[in-house]
Structure 1
Amino acid sequence: MVEADITDRIQAEAAVEQTVERFGRLDTPVNNPGLMLLGPVVGADAEEWERMIAVNVQGLLYTTRVALPHLLKAAEDGPRRVADISCVTGRVAMNGLGV
């Protein structure tokens, strides 16, 4: 396991590189950060929103950016000729789920 604060671009990039170094390649990152601070939007703390965006959006983008070259290489070298990114995102707005 590689631990990192993915809101820190340097740590997020290092986590991907450590994974490739340890296992020799990267085929399918499970790029599924998730932080949901519950509550109504009215009166919500904007700093909590910034924290959710940092984890759920920026962290996802930081890791994807550094993973892409490894995924393209895996697709080039692998028998299936594909590489995947597994990512689940929120698709439904619901009361009390804030951002």
Structure 2
Amino acid sequence: VVDEEHGPRSYWFACNKWLGQGLEDGLLERTLPVCLEDPRAVFTDYKVDFHTSRVRGAGTDATVYFQLCGEEQDSEVQRVVAPKEAFERGAVDSFSYK
């Protein structure tokens, strides 16, 4: 948020991504559009549950990605930042996203 020094206006710059090597897409800088209204009002908190099968060989140590798909728009592809023991056979792993 940037507030005018001598005025009533505030400007928001919604990023909603991590900045840093090894985080999400690894970018260290982004170009952000200015918002004249608080963008937090339009974001919804989501709880995403990942159910890993119980069949033999189920589970993964790979990086997991997901995308929320809606009637009006889809989210960007999200990388799941999970502990090493996540996505094991028969497990349910839950994560929160905006």
TM exceeding 0.5 = no
TM-score range normalised by the length of the shorter chain: under 0.3
TM-score (norm 2): 0.23
Name whichever structure is richer in helix by fraction: 1
Q: Could you tell me the TM-score, scaled by structure 1's length?
A: 0.23
Higher strand share: 2
